[in-house]
Amino acid sequence: MLGLATAFDGEGDFTPEERAKLARGELVTRTIERRRGQSVLVGGLSWLRVRATPAELWEILVDPTSYGHILPSAEESTIVARGESSVVVRVRHRYGLVRASYHAVLRFDEGAHMLSFTLDTRRPRDIRSGYGFMLLTPVGRDRTDVTWGVMGDVGSDVVAGLLRPLMQEWMLRVPECLRSWALDQTRC
């Protein structure tokens, strides 16, 4: 499971504390912040063990309209284009007076139960850039380890700077939101 995540982040195996958290069904996160030229990318990796099969969770992931339920503070997700191997989705978030929307290009690898995405920089967006993945790995008969990696440049204005730590925390909560939606239809 860590092979793909390690390539994303360059970090090693889980610590004993992280292993214990996963076994208890708690979210494990590792934050990342990188500077690339003028860009400040924030995000990281998160893992969560969910009492559901990869197939059950995959059904949610391949329906991009469900992203309005599994992305923190998302109001709406709409499919705007379909290609042979990709889907473009417009996602709109709202937290109080702060609003942001963007278009993401999604690619699905059903055999690996892996979703990857990049921000569509050709379409209107309030976020400068972003990319990531979600990987579903079976654990026993009825559980799945959800691995989520995300990095994004949310902008450099004052509001983005003040909200960056909160946004980074939310970005890493997606596995918890997926679990809430899958198990009891509670949105994030």
Q: Which pLDDT value is given to residue 166? A: 79
pLDDT at 61 over 70: yes
**What domains are there in the chain, each with its CATH number?**
2-184 (3.30.530.20)
Which residues fall within 8 angstroms of residue 186, CB to CB, at 6 or more apart? 180
What mean pLDDT is predicted for residues 61-89? 93
Yes or no: say if 88 and 105 are a contact pair by the CB < 8 Å rule.
yes
pLDDT-wise least confident of 20-34, 43-57, 88-102: 88-102
What pTM value is reported for the model? 0.88
Rounded to whole angstroms, how far apart are CA atoms 162 and 181? 29
As a whole number, mean pLDDT of residues 56-83 equals: 93
pLDDT in tens, 126-144: 888 899 999 999 999 999 9
Residue 111 has what pLDDT? 94
Q: How far apart are CA 57 and CA 53, in angstroms?
A: 7
Q: Is the per-residue pLDDT at 49 higher than 90?
A: yes
Contact 103, 81 (CB under 8 A): no
State the Cα–Cα distance between residues 141 and 159, nearest whole angstrom.
45
Which DSSP state fits 44?
Answer: E
